[in-house]
Structure 1
Amino acid sequence: MTILNSKAKMLTASLLLAVPISAYAADQGETEQAAERYAQSASGEARLITAGASGISSAAAGATGVKAAGASLTDSLQGGFDVAATKLKVPWSMQFAGDTVYITQRGGGIVEVKNGKQTVQEVRTKKALRVVGEAGLTGFVLDPNFAKNKYAYIYHAYEEKGEGLNRIVKVKLVNGVWREQKELVDGIPGGRIHEGGRLAIGPDGMLYSTAGETDRRELSQDLSSLGGKVLRMTTSGKIPKDNPFKNSYVYAYGLRNSQGLAWTSSGTLYASDHGPSGAPIPGGGIDATGRDEINVIKPGANYGWPLVIGNETAPGLTPPYYVNGEQAIAPSGIAATPDDKILVATLAGQSLKEFDPIAKTMTDVLTGEGRIRDVAVHNGRIYVLTNNTSGGKPGPDDDRLLILK
């Protein structure tokens, strides 16, 4: 498998014009405690062997594992990437309508990338966007019939009576403006960190959402709260009759800060989850670090946070499918490839990784571009959103949308 590294020469598409200022002021103050620790030791963990100016490298067998044999989408990569968009302001999620890409910015606005041009489109919601720390405009997914109805769904933070919260809203693209049509769910716990926020439409046509525990770990085990959960609903905001808990959006619980959802061809739902990051524990003590997870999500399952961490387990709990180790990578968006591997965007890990669900190994695909927030597979190509304008060291063109070659 080719590993891409920005230290070498890259083939770059014509750089696009700078993005206008978003409709909302961006807050770039997110801090993820593990990022700095990882940056200081990343070269040691990844164990990359660079092949010179071509930018092609290979990973030595070791901590990240060796990918199982067999052709895959990443095996076809030749090295390098095209830059499809530049100067994005804390990008979070991307969606595709034909050759057009739509990208949410946490500080507000959705960037349309079309025919070599970037345009920031306003998002008009009935409750004002709250931008604090990791809270803002995050999750985004187009309706399956977007080409005809122009509907989409967003996850955004707001404030009510001084309390930070999140909501899921149906919007419609009208004359270049995304306008709220209907509020599907409100009152999802919010704060400054651990906001979750990933949205996805499942093979069953249902709308799924991750919701973080907002640094209130007790919420993850509280079935009356939507925090620390995977939620499931219809695209009109109704609770499906086959949800595991009666009259509840909760589909799975015991999660910390899940930011990635993806289905493989078998219909298996995978979710990424941030492990503890060495933070103080309420009541005393310090969390361990790392133990980031890839989970196979099953209806009604309890994934254990904060009762257990990483590979720990107890009766009635569902253990993670994969635990990365003691070095935090902070997995964010994930995407399934046609050969049923899972691409994983990592923040503290500052890389795009590939997870093999059969071998249960994690290997590097792209390094050297800093923090990676989201990844997608579209028309046989891999798209990556960098996230250096939030907690990283942005370059002059950050943040960028990259298309791997």
Structure 2
Amino acid sequence: MINYPFRKITIGLLIFGPAFLAGCSAEEDDGEPEENTEEAGEAAGSVSEASTEDWNVEVLAENLDVPWSLNIHEDTYYMTNRGGDVIEVTGEEKERLPLAASDEIVNEGEGGLLGFVLAEDFADSSKGYAYYTYRQNDGALANKVVAVERESSQWSETEVLLDDIPGDRIHNGGRLEIGPDGYLYATAGDSDEPSLAQDEDSLAGSILRMTVDGEVPEGNPFENSYVYSYGHRNPQGLAWTSTGKLYSSEHGPNAQDEINVIEPGNNYGWPEITGSESAEDLDAPVVQSGSTTWAPSGTAFLEDTLLVAGLRGESLYAYDEEAEEMNAVFEGEGRLRDVKTGDGGVYVLTNNTDGRGSPSENDDQLLKLTLKE
């Protein structure tokens, strides 16, 4: 296994009021930095009622290069970037540690080092799981899920859990999460071949479920298959309610982005239905964007409110279940790739350096949002 040097960078901690920038999309846009001079009004009573002025914003890290996935353990923030590194931030110290992988990580188009999640026993084991794009022997792009371990100067792949997940320059999915059942879930895009999403025998266009050892769990809906649900175009986020209901975010073809409630074995319709269309035995989204583009990415729950990071939409959205609509509750920092919650805060990764945004000085950033009292 190859050993790579790492770089250590010390950064100052910045705290700022709402200075807001324009940015970009899952399928493209442009914008110029713009300052919001409106005074903050009365603080919101809940996150679902919030607007940008209702948040205190703290910069926890900056000058991040195409960050993709965020994890938090104790006082350290762990972020992947598409180039193949794990960035660790503790206080004012930032380390960039490469992932030594069994195949070269291919940072091409939307591919690269994408999903990343720490093992539940990470404090004792130093282990985690990653999802990355690689090139097969025939030159085709594919994705794999691997077990990884943190060492003194790098992260190292220790085991391939699942490979040969169809890939392409676009529609690689890539999100990894450990569910409340202790299983590992991964989102797989249709690899720019829509018909694969309707093929139960293909891993593409699916949400996959496996044990943390890479086995097919008992109770998966299809015999000897990792496929948990299918008919997905490019699923991007996974989050569970306190009662165990699974939500997923998904990029649509021409806007028509989706939030779905995932049930095992169900078919979510791509490419047979999109947007507000419906058909027998195909599950429609609980909410979709119509002619507006959210390009929804990472998701998380803050109490009982689903939060969704928007790329093209350049907003943090909250899903209003009663009204069946998505509301922008924070915007002005450009493209948002991932969101996590904890200790009363909302942690957001910007993604303006991914080739589709308009980076400003010090982009990309890890932000902590807290509602003003």
Query: Where on the TM-score scale, by shorter chain, does this alignment land: which range?
Result: 0.7 to 0.9
> Could you tell me which residue of structure 1 aligns to residue 368 of structure 2?
403
Equivalent residue of 1:218, what SS? helix
In 2: Cα distance, 1:154 partner to 1:33 partner = 22
Counterpart for residue 265 of structure 1: 242
Q: Between the two proteins, what is the percent identity of the paired residues?
A: 46
Unaligned runs of 5+ in 2: 1-11, 16-23
Q: Is contact 1:329-1:350 (8 Å) kept?
A: yes
Residue 114, structure 1, aligned to residue 93, structure 2? no
Counterpart secondary structure, 2:239: strand
* Partner SS for 1:245: coil
Letter in 2 for 1:395: S
Q: Is the 8 A contact 2:48 2:318 kept in 1?
A: no
Q: Give the corresponding residue for 1:151.
A: 127
Matched, 1:383 2:347: yes
Deviations 1:89-122 (A, max 9, x none): 1000010110100000011100000121111011
2:335 equivalent to 1:359? no
Matched, 1:234 2:211: yes
State whether structure 2 residue 332 is matched by structure 1 residue 368.
yes
Which of 94, 100, 115 is the equivalent residue of 1:124? 100
CA distance in 2, matches of 1:120, 1:54: 38
Distance 1:79 1:32 in 2: 23
Seen in structure 2, the aligned counterparts of structure 1 residues 195 and 36 have a Cα distance that, compared at 3 Å, is same
The Cα shift of 1:15 comes to 4.4
The answer to whether the Cα contact below 8 Å between 1:35 and 1:349 also exists between their aligned partners in 2 is no
Q: CA deviation at 1:53?
A: 4.3
| 2:307 maps to 1:343 | yes
Contact 2:26 2:311 in 1 (8 A): no
Segment drifting more, 348-357 vs 150-159 = 348-357
- Indicate if the aligned counterparts of 2:111 and 2:169 stay in contact, CA closer than 8 A: yes
Aligned match for 1:325, one of 290, 311, 323: 290
Pick aligned residue for 1:35 from 28, 31, 55:
28
Equivalent in the alignment of 1:185: 162
- Segments of 5+ residues of structure 1 without an aligned counterpart are 1-12, 17-30, 44-49, 59-68, 277-288
Query: Following TM superposition, where does structure 1 have runs of at least 4 consecutive aligned residues deviating by more than 6 angstroms?
Result: none
CA distance in 2, matches of 1:304, 1:348: 23
Q: Which residues in structure 2 correspond to 1:3-402 (within 5 Å)? A: 14-15=13-14, 34-36=27-29, 52-54=37-39, 71-72=46-47, 78-161=54-137, 162-276=139-253, 289-338=254-303, 340-390=304-354, 391-402=356-367
| Alpha-carbon contact 1:169-1:180 (below 8 Å) kept | yes
| Paired AA for residue 98 in structure 1 | E
Name the SS of the counterpart of 1:147 in structure 2: helix
Letter in 2 for 1:147: A
For 1:139 and 1:203, how far apart are their aligned partners in 2? Answer: 18
Retained in 2: the 8 A contact 1:55–1:79? no
Q: Give the Cα–Cα distance (whole angstroms) in 1 for the partners of residues 26 and 47 of structure 2.
A: 34
Q: Distance in 1 between matches of 2:55 and 2:268?
A: 37
Aligned-residue offset at 1:80: 3.4
Instruction: Evaluate the alpha carbon distance shift between residue 362 and residue 308 of structure 1 in structure 2; reply closer, same or farther with a 3 A threshold.
Output: same
User: Contact 1:51 / 1:57 at 8 angstroms: preserved in 2?
Assistant: no
Query: Secondary structure of the residue that 2:234 maps to in structure 1?
Result: coil
Q: Name the amino acid aligned to 1:239.
A: V
Cα deviation for residue 335 of structure 1 reads: 0.5
Give secondary structure in 2 for the equivalent of 1:36: coil
- The Cα shift of 1:310 comes to 1.2
Q: Distance in 1 between matches of 2:26 and 2:85?
A: 27
- Give the residue type in structure 1 aligned to 2:115: G
Q: Name the CA distance, whole Å, in 2 between partners of 1:70 and 1:359.
A: 17
Shift of the alpha carbon at 1:56? 5.5
Shift in CA distance, 122/51, structure 1 to aligned 2, threshold 3 Å = closer
Distance 2:65 2:220 in 1: 37
C-alpha change, 1:72 and 1:364, in structure 2 (3 Å) is closer
How big is the shift at 1:173? 0.6
Judged with a 3 Å threshold, the aligned counterparts in structure 2 of structure 1 residues 126 and 319 are, in CA distance, closer, same or farther, namely same
CA apart distance, 1:397: 0.3
Distance 1:196 1:56 in 2: 39
Q: Secondary structure at the match of 2:312?
A: coil
Cα distance in 1 for partners of 2:157, 2:49 equals 38
Q: Quick one: distance in 2 between partners of 1:332 and 1:158?
A: 22
Does structure 1 retain, via aligned residues, the 8 Å contact 2:40–2:54?
Answer: no
Query: How far 1:358 sits from its partner (Å)?
Result: 3.1
CA distance in 1 between counterparts of 2:71 and 2:13 reads 21
Offset of residue 188 of structure 1: 0.3
Higher deviation after alignment, 313-322 or 84-93: 313-322
d(CA) in 1 for partners of 2:211, 2:41: 44
* 1:307 Cα deviation after fit: 0.4
Taking structure 1 as the reference length, the TM-score comes to 0.81
The 3-state SS of whatever aligns with 1:219 is helix
Q: Is the 8 A contact 2:14 2:58 kept in 1?
A: no
Q: Distance in 2 between matches of 1:335 and 1:166?
A: 24
1 CA distance for matches of 2:321 and 2:241?
10
Deviation (angstroms), 1:51: 8.6
AA of the residue aligned to 2:65:
K
Equivalent residue, structure 2, for 1:63: none
- Mapped to 1, the partners of 2:26 and 2:158 lie a distance apart of 37
Q: Helix, strand or coil for the counterpart of 1:196?
A: coil
Counterpart CA distance in 2 for 1:51 and 1:90 is 26
